[in-house]
Amino acid sequence: MRKAPQQSGAFCFSNYRSALPPFLVKPARYDFRMPYEWLPSDGDTQRLHLWPYRSLPRRGMVWFIGSTAALIALPLLVLLGSPVLWGLLPFLLLTLWGIWTALSRSFKDGETLEDLRLDRDEISLTRHDRKGEHRWQANPHWVRVTLHKTKGPVPDYLTLTGNGREVELGAFLSPEERLALDIELRRRLSATRRA
């Protein structure tokens, strides 16, 4: 199963970097690009990869759980040797387990990857997520790109319609990113139709 890139930042500071004081500017190793990219084309085929933000990588999740456990354990030092400790301990462990489970689920949801392939004969969208792989394909000459301003589960909902089905594209993107993707996709689809 294909996975989204490990480092996809949650916030785009590229427009604000010059306004920040020098001590707040992060080193260049942080990746603040859009959560989608057009891959280099191989022949006539153009490929687009989309993935949700991953603001907390696996290492950060482990650090968060460890520091939460340490902060929870700190006040318990007073209760060492007391029967009250054994009364509180199951609830505190249950709390840590709940946080771990929620963050693990969030991390697995972040592994979603949408792969759009576009060439003269076919446009296909494959979504790889924890539920499996879902595929849609149609003729690019009959595909309609629609940006629903208000009639969707999210603002500026982007869909592709063709072959009797309407599929969502990048529902996990921000509204600004869906607007930018809409423009890019229409331009590339138009160029493919003319070719």
For residue 11, the tally of other CB atoms under 10 A from its CB is: 10
Sheet holding 165-168, edge to edge: 144-148, 157-162, 165-168
Residue 5: predicted pLDDT = 53
Give per-residue pLDDT as tens, 24-43: 444 444 445 678 899 988 88
CB 128 within 8 A of CB 135: no
Residue 147: predicted pLDDT = 92
Give per-residue pLDDT as tens, 87-118: 999 999 999 999 999 998 888 888 889 999 99
Q: What pTM, to 2 d.p., does this model score?
A: 0.68
Residue spans of the chain under pLDDT 70: 1-33
Residue 126: predicted pLDDT = 95
Closest CA to 169 of 184, 108, 70: 184
What would be the CATH architecture of the domain defined by 33-52+113-194? Roll (2.30)
> What is the rounded distance in angstroms from the CA atom of residue 74 to the CA atom of residue 59?
23
Domain boundaries, the chain: 33-52+113-194, 63-108
Residue 186: predicted pLDDT = 94
Residue 31: predicted pLDDT = 46
Residue 109 backbone dihedrals phi, psi, to 5 degrees: -65, -30
